[in-house]
Amino acid sequence: MSLVDLRSDTVTRPTPSMRRAMAEAEVGDDVYREDPTVNRLQARAAEIFDREAGLFVPSGSMGNHAAIKVHTHHGQEVICEERSHIYNYEMATMAAVSGCLARTVRGEDGILGWDDIAPALRAMTAERAGTGLISLENTCNIAGGAVTPVELAERVCDEAHARGVPVHLDGARIFNAATALGCTVGDLTRKFDSVMFCLSKGLGAPVGSVLVGSKEFIESARRVRKMLGGGMRQVGILAAAGLIALEESPARLPEDHENAQVLARGLAEIPGIRLDPAKVRTNIVIFDVQETGIESFEIARRLKEKDILANGISPATMRMVTHRDVDRAGCQRALQVMEGILAGERTRTAVAQ
Ligand SMILES: *Cc1c(COP(=O)(O)O)cnc(C)c1O
């Protein structure tokens, strides 16, 4: 039986049409801006997001980091949610490279509104570093793929701009957010100063992310990309797959969201697992396993013995992510295996008592 890989939506393999496009891609040296396929991808991304320019970057982390570096200078603070990717999963780059201090705030379901942010905002004084940037994440990964509504994000941008503070969006899964809200990614991101989105997550490309913003911002980000070692050469072979992902994949995201619902509803019925399926609106299912009596990492190990892959994100919580390479039947099999493992554990502990 084939593996059901629910660890992340990064695990998808390129489709046959992506591989064909990669093989046939027209290329040139992108550091000289001469790769026609990269140029097409960047222009198309800018158009879709209604921006002046785009920049292809090797990873979402590099895209986020280029934005942070351009928007801030050393000794400033960056306000972000305490579960955010830029704070937890990017090797402390904002400190190591940009010399910034993360000022974390907790938002309900990972979503930050202006009322959460305002108390954390700092003007530079004799003893306080000023806020250089606010960064939001939509969808919020570790908060279970939660979606930030348009009005909430726009208010954050308006209030921040009124105080001269730029706002970046880590939109790794912004197409999932737009799918959940039934709007366009342009509608969702218009007021942000910069947006990073991933081609290599739900959109299914093998590699790459894109940063979009004003021409001036992208020119600066291009220099930071080079500084970080991300200036690539005949990289049209990757951009070719990215273009297909960008054009074709958003339309199939509802399927991933439906599969995540199947997982969420099934998991919620298993004794010991806690989650609210109504909160699962995109392709990420995060659930609490504390009452099962087994740590998440051990559950993941037992699932793996039965060819189901999922990640523990803390001893008490697990994450399952749906994507193009898992289908409904795979999700149902994951539920059956999970049920079996936890039922076995209940019997074992009942006998032991
Ligand atoms: C995956 C992800 C990124 C970027 O990750 P890379 O692995 O560097 O491409 C950024 N933000 C969020 C919320 C993510 O989930």
Report d(CA 56, CA 36) in Å as an integer.
12
CA of 85 to the centre of ligand 1 (A): 7
- Dist. CA 342–CA 99, nearest whole Å: 46
What's the CATH number where 124 sits?
3.40.640.10
Closest Cα to atom 2, ligand 1: which residue?
172
Ligand 1 near 198 CB (within 6 A): yes
Same domain, 301 and 177: no
- Same structural domain for residues 225 and 277? no
Residue whose token pair is 């911002």: 217
Cα of 333 vs centre of ligand 1, distance in Å, is: 28
190 shares a domain with 157: yes
Other C-beta atoms closer than 10 Å to the C-beta of 352 total 6
Q: Are residues 262 and 244 in the same domain?
A: no
Residue 121: other Cβ atoms inside 10 A: 18
Domain stop point among 248, 283, 309: 248
Structural domains of the chain, count:
2
CATH number at residue 307: 3.90.1150.10
Do 259 and 204 fall within a single domain?
Answer: no
- 1 in a structural domain: no
- pLDDT tens digits in sequence order for the chain, 353 residues long: 689 999 999 999 999 999 999 999 999 999 999 999 999 999 999 999 999 999 999 999 999 999 999 999 999 999 999 999 999 999 999 999 999 999 999 999 999 999 999 999 988 888 889 999 999 999 999 999 999 999 999 999 999 999 999 999 999 999 999 999 999 999 999 999 999 999 999 999 999 999 999 999 999 999 999 999 999 999 999 999 999 999 999 999 999 999 999 999 999 999 999 999 999 999 999 999 999 999 999 999 999 999 999 999 999 999 999 999 999 999 999 999 999 999 988 888 887 76
Which pLDDT tens digit goes with each residue over 181-221? 999 999 999 999 999 999 999 999 999 999 999 999 999 99
pLDDT computed for residue 215 by the predictor: 98
Q: Give the phi and the psi of residue 4 in degrees, each rounded to 5.
A: -105, 105
Question: Is residue 85 within 6 Å of ligand 1 at its C-beta?
Answer: yes
Tell me if 209 CB under 6 Å of ligand 1. Answer: yes
Neighbours of 353 (CB within 10 A): 4
Q: Which of 216, 248, 280 is the last residue of a domain?
A: 248
Smallest Cα–Cα separation from 51: which of 169, 154, 224, 195? 195
134 and 114, same domain (yes or no)? yes
What domain range is 325 assigned to? 252-352
60 lines ligand 1 (CB under 6 A): yes
Of 285, 317, 283, nearest in space to 299 by CA: 317
For residues 298 and 216, membership in a common domain is answered with no
What's the CA gap between 350 and 294, in Å, rounded?
Answer: 14
**Ligand 1 pocket test, candidate residues 57, 81, 83, 141, most atoms within 8 A of CB:** 141
